[in-house]
Structure 1
Amino acid sequence: MEVDATTMMFVGFCIAFVTILLTKALSWLWLEPKRAERYLRRQGLKGNSYTLFFGDIKAISTLIQKAKSKPIDINDDVTPRLVPFQHQLIRNYGKNSFFWYGPKPVVHIMDPEAIREVLNLINDFPKPTLTPLSKFLITGLVDLDGDKWSKHRKIINPAFNLAKLKVFFSHYILCQSLTLNFIIYY
């Protein structure tokens, strides 16, 4: 039985395609997350080690189910109930830490200076791309990027002056107390 040249070329292309596909999958699922983990640890961040495929998704879902199964009293702290995984992460690793959402790291930054630095480097930290439905529903400053975002931020920045916010704060407290009274009494 003879094998012609076109069949050999086809088999060779198939083997090359599968090899490239497996290499990219290995890189995406293991090498890039481990490289990112080493980089984050060199930056001084602490967090869980990466686990293949799911990262911390299983731990997140089990902690949410566990938190929902317990009753909550009105005087209890709601943070462990609403975001139990993040609460545990901050308790274990500190305010600047990371966790894994699949093969992608998610970084928690709670230091005000570091937050200010991230927000000022808008071109280095792009916003995630939105789906068409999200683009339809979300408009305004949240939707803008780059120069348009900078321009609109400069326009609305005077509205958030500390003196102006102090005036609105007393009105906000009054509205909140009226809302609470309405909820309690009616």
Structure 2
Amino acid sequence: MSPQPNAANAANAANAANAAATSAAGATAVSYRAATSADATACAEIEAQLFAGEQPWSAAAFQAEFALGSNFYICAEVSRRVVGYAGLAMLGPRTAPEFEVHTIGVAPDYQRKGIGRELLEQLLHAADSLHGPVFLEVRTDNTAAIALYRQYGFVDMGTRKDYYAPGISALTMRRPATPATPAPLITPTSEEPQP
């Protein structure tokens, strides 16, 4: 079955495969799994740290995002603690989709360890499996994220003045449709995850 861009439908098999996965976070074992409504508070807490003063998403906003069948949300966790999250929305029909990265966030104490890169790779694999281009907005002063996105084939499309808040603009970027790469750590399916 073709992957669905919906983290709520990720299979338990992916969670089991992730249990032993390590990322570039040194010796810290980082697992990647589908986000569930139970993760909304933890995601909102990280969001509040990352985007204080910029209208961070609430737990209710994350729950609403997780509930949409056209969205694919994943979490990174260490020792059962959510340390990162990422979300992708599918726009348009499955036969000719476009995708939009809605968010990627990593807790400050886990940044610069490859977790954000792995979260992005998971989102891109979901989009690539359906051969759709990917769009995103990123703060114009977030040079590290912009450099990462360029490494993955994103190109600048334009600037959205005051997108995040007065004086905080966004760079709009696009990555063309790309053939699917080897299987990701999270494989969305049509099965509901088990608690």
Q: TM-score range by the shorter chain?
A: under 0.3
TM score, norm. by length of structure 1: 0.25
Greater strand fraction, Structure 1 or Structure 2: 2
Say which one has the larger Rg.
Answer: 1
TM score, norm. by length of structure 2: 0.24
